Structure 1
Amino acid sequence: MKERIKDHLRNLTNLVGVSGSEQEVVRYMNEHLLAAADEVNVDHNGNVIAVKHGTSPGPKLMIGAHSDEVGFSVKSIQEDGYLYFDKIGVVSDQLLQGRKVWISSRKIPGVMGIKAGHLQTAEESRQVKPLRDCYIDIGASSKEEAEAIGIKIGDPIVFQSDFMELSNTDLISTKSVDNRISCAILIELFHQLKGKDFAGTVYGVVTVQEEVGLRGVASAAFTIDPDYAIILDTIPSGDTPDIDTEKVLPVFIGKGPACPVGDGVFGWGSYIHPKVREMIEEQSEKVQIPIQYVSLIGENYSTDAAALTTIGKGVPVGVLAIPRRYSHSPVELVNLRDAVDVLKVVKGIIGDNGKKSLSFI
C-alpha cells in the first residue's frame, strides 16, 4: 500500500499543474480512477468526479482532494528574452531567486535569476527581492527567440524539484506534496474499495483551483449534493526549530493524521461538524491510529472544507490532513506513514457509512 502511494506521488509531483492549468494532473487522475471506479466524469471546470456504488442504500459521501499546486505564470516576455512572472497561490518571496523552473506542460527549462554575490552590496545581500524585480532566464537572447522556443503569455510555471527519499525512505521531499499526496491516497482508496461491502455511494472528487480561493469544490459539490464530506489535504507541521511547536502549531510529521477542528484565512474558514468528528474519533480508535487535533482559527490555513459549509444547504464536513514541512516550497517534506494512516481511517468511515446520524444535535 505504502509503495503504491509512493509511486503515484512520484508520478504526480513530476507533473505541471498550477491552479487553472491542472490538465496533466486531471488526465492522470482520470486514467487511474477509471481503473477502479464504477464511473468517472470530468466537469467543465476540470474537477474529476469518481463514483463507487455501495451494496446497499445509504448516504452520499464525498472524499475530496485538490489537484492544483502553487506556482507562477508568464506575465511578459522582454525584448532581451527574459521573462517576468505572476504568482499563482501563496509563495514566499524568499523562494524567488536562484531556483530552477519548468514552464508549461512541455517543461521548458528556466532559472530564476539572482545577482552574483560578488556584486551585491551589503544591503542587497540582506534583502528579500520583491516579485516585480525578479525574472526568469530561459537562455533566449530576444523576445522572438523566446517565442520560438514556445513561451506564451500565461504559461504556467512550477519549481523544478527532484523526488528525494531521505535516509528514512518513508520521508519524501519534493514540490507539490500539497496536495498530490492526497490525490495518491484517493487512487489507492478506490482500488481498495473494489469488491468491498458498504452502504451508500462514495464520490472521490479531485478539485481544481483550491490554492486561489477554493473555486473548484463548489461546483463539484453542487453536482453531487453530498450528505457529508471528508476533505483530504496537507497541513503545515510545527516540528522544526523555527516554530514554537507546542504553543503555536503542535503538529508533527510521522505521528498520525492531523484534524483541524477550526481554521480560517482571508475570510474563508470552517469548523468540523460534530458528527463527522465523532466518525473520525471512532475510526481512529478502532484502527489504533492517533489523530493530531489542532485549532488554526485566525491562522493562514484553510481547505476546500470552508467552501462546502456554505454551498447549497451546507455540507457536514471534516478534514484529515497529512502533516508536511516547508509548505509551498520546492522541498515540501512528508512522511508516507501518515498518508497510509489517513487511508485507513477514511476506509473505516466508508465501511460504517450510514450508521451514524448526521444531525447537528
Structure 2
Amino acid sequence: MKDRIKGYLRDLTGLVGVSGSEQPVVQYLYKQLYSVADEIKIDNSGNVIAMKNGTEPGPKLMVSAHSDEVGFIVKNILKDGFIALDKIGGTPDTLLQGRKVWITDKKIPGIIGVKAGHMQSPEEMKRVKTIHECYVDVGASSKQEVENMGINIGDSVVFQSDFMEMHDKDLICTKSIDNRINCAVIIELFHHLKNADFAGTLYGVITVREEVGLQGAEMVGNSLKPDYAIVLDTIPAGDVPDIDTDKSLPVYIGKGPACPVSDGVVGTAFTHIHPKVREMIEEQSERMNVPLQLLTLNGQGYTTDAAKLSLMNGGVPIGIVATPRRYSHSPVELLNINDALGVLEIVKGIVIQNGKKDLRFIDIPSSITT
C-alpha cells in the first residue's frame, strides 16, 4: 500500500497542473479511478466526481481533495525573448530568483533569472524582488523564438522539482505535495473499497482551483448536495527551527494526520468542523490506532475547501483530515508518507461506518418533544 501511494504521488507531482490548467492531473485521475468507481465523470470545469454505491441505503458522503497547485502564468513574451510572469496562488516572492521552472505541460525548461551578485548593490542584495520584477530565461533571443518553442501567453509555469526520497525513505520531498498526496489517497481509498460493504453512497471528489479561492468546491457542493463531507488537504508543519511549534503551529511530520478544528483567513473564510463529524474522525483515529494532531489555525492564511463546502446546499456538516508537510508552496515540500497512510485509515473507517452516527448539531432530549 505504501509503495502504491508513493507511485501515485511520484506520477502526480511530476505533472504540471496550476489552478485553471489542471488537465494533465484530471486526465491521470480519471484513468486511475475509472476501474474502481461505479461511475465517474468530469464536469465542464474539471472537477472529478467518482461514485461508489454502498450495499444498502444511507447518507451521501463526499470525500474530497484538490488537484491544482500554486504556480505562475506567462504574462507576456518580451521582444528580447524573456518572459514576464503573473502568480497563480500564494507562492512567496522569496522563493523566486534563481529557480528552474517548467513551462506548459510539455515541461519546456526555463530559469527565473537573478542579477549577477558581482553587479548587485548592497541595497539590491537585501531586497526581495517581486514577481513583476522577475523574468524567465528560456535561452531565446526573440519573441518569435519563444513562440516557436510552443510557449504562449496564458501558459502555466511551475517550479522544476524532482521526486526525492530522503535518507529515511518514508520522507519525500518535491513540489505540489499540496495536494497531490491526497489525490493519491483517494485513488487508494477506492481500491480498498472495491469489494467493501458500507451503507449509502461515496463520492470521491477532486476539485479544481482550490488555491485561488476554493472555487471547485463551491461548484461541486451545490451540485452533489452531500449529507456530509470530509475534506483531505495538507497542512503546514511547525516542527522547524524558525517556528515556535507549541505556541504557533503544533503540527509535526511523522506524528499522524492533523485535524484543524477551526481555521480561517481573516475577512474571507472561516471553518469550524461539525461536532458529529469530529466525533467520527476521533473515533476512527482511536479504533485504527492512528495518532491525530488536533489544532486551531485562525488568522494565519490557512483554509481549505471545507470553508466553501460548509456553506453549500443550506450547510454541509464537514470535517478535515490533513497530511502535515513542511515548506508550504515551495519546490521542496516535505512529508512523511506514513501520515498519509493514517489519513487513508481514518477515512476508510468513516466510509465503512457511514450512516451509523446521527448528524444533528445537538441531541434534543425526548422529554422536550413529548
Whether TM exceeds 0.5 here: the answer is yes
- In the alignment, what sits opposite 1:302? 303
Which residue pairs with 2:87 in the alignment? 87
Distance 2:219 2:268 in 1: 19
Write out aligned runs for 1:240-279 (5 A).
240-265=240-265, 266-279=267-280
2:347 match: secondary structure: helix
Q: Following superposition of structure 1 onto structure 2, how do residues 70-109 of structure 1 map, counting pairs within 5 Å?
A: 70-109=70-109
- 1:320 shift after superposition: 0.3
Alignment partner of 2:312: what SS?
coil
Deviation for aligned residue 1:262: 0.5
Cα distance in 2 between the residues matched to 1:249 and 1:122: 35
Q: Secondary structure at the match of 1:211?
A: helix
Counterpart residue type for residue 336 of structure 1: I
Structure 2 counterparts to residues 1-361 of structure 1, below 5 A: 1-265=1-265, 266-361=267-362
C-alpha deviation, 1:119, in angstroms: 1.4
The offset of 1:126, in angstroms, is: 1.4
* Deviation of 1:45 (Å): 0.8
Query: Using the alignment, how far apart are the partners of 1:177 and 1:255 within structure 2?
Result: 17
**Letter aligned with residue 310 of structure 1:** L
Which digits, 9 at most, give the CA deviation of each residue in 1:192-248, with x for residues without a partner?
001100000100001000000000011112221100000000000000000000000
- Could you tell me how far 1:318 is from its partner in structure 2? 0.6
Q: In structure 2, how many angstroms separate the alpha carbons of the residues matched to 1:131 and 1:350?
A: 43
**What CA distance in whole angstroms lies between the structure 2 residues aligned with 1:154 and 1:6?**
31
Report how far residue 317 of structure 1 moved: 0.3
Aligned to 2:367: none
| Cα distance, 1:264 vs structure 2 | 0.6
CA–CA separation in structure 1 for the residues paired with 2:85 and 2:130? 12
Structure 1 residues 60-115: Cα deviation after superposition (integer angstroms, max 9, x where no partner): 00000000000000001000000000000000001110001011111111000001
Deviates more, 1:69-78 or 1:121-130: 121-130
The whole-number CA distance in structure 1 between the counterparts of 2:295 and 2:18 is 28
SS at match of 1:312: helix
Tell me, in whole angstroms, the C-alpha distance in 1 between the residues paired with 2:298 and 2:71: 26
Secondary structure, counterpart of 2:295 in structure 1: strand
Q: Structure 2: 5+ residue runs without aligned partners?
A: 363-370
1:181 & 1:58 partners in 2: Cα distance?
Answer: 29
Distance 2:81 2:269 in 1: 40
CA distances 1:121-140 after superposition (whole Å, capped 9, x unpaired): 12211111111110000111
Q: Distance in 1 between matches of 2:21 and 2:100?
A: 19
How far does the alpha carbon of each residue in 1:299-335 deviate from its partner, in whole angstroms, 9 at most, with x for none?
Answer: 2100000001111211100100000000000000000
User: 1:260 is aligned with what amino acid?
Assistant: P
Task: Output the CA distance in 1 between the equivalents of 2:211 and 2:157.
Answer: 15
Q: Which amino acid aligns with 1:290?
A: P
User: Aligned residue pairs: how many?
Assistant: 361
Amino acid at match of 2:55: T
> What letter matches 2:290 in structure 1?
I
Q: TM-score scaled to structure 1, two decimals?
A: 0.99
Distance 2:151 2:79 in 1: 13
Partner Cα separation in structure 2 for residue 310 and residue 220 of structure 1 = 12
Match of 2:365 in 1: none
SS of 2:304's partner is coil
The runs of 5 or more residues in structure 1 that have no matched partner are none
Whole-Å separation in 1 of the counterparts to 2:143 and 2:105:
20
Which amino acid in structure 2 is aligned with residue 295 of structure 1? T
RMSD: 0.7
Identity of aligned residues (%): 63
SS class of match (2:25): helix
Which AA in structure 2 matches 1:57? Answer: P
Note the alpha carbon deviations across 1:8-60, whole angstroms, 9 max, x for none.
Answer: 00000000000000000000001101021101000011000000000011000
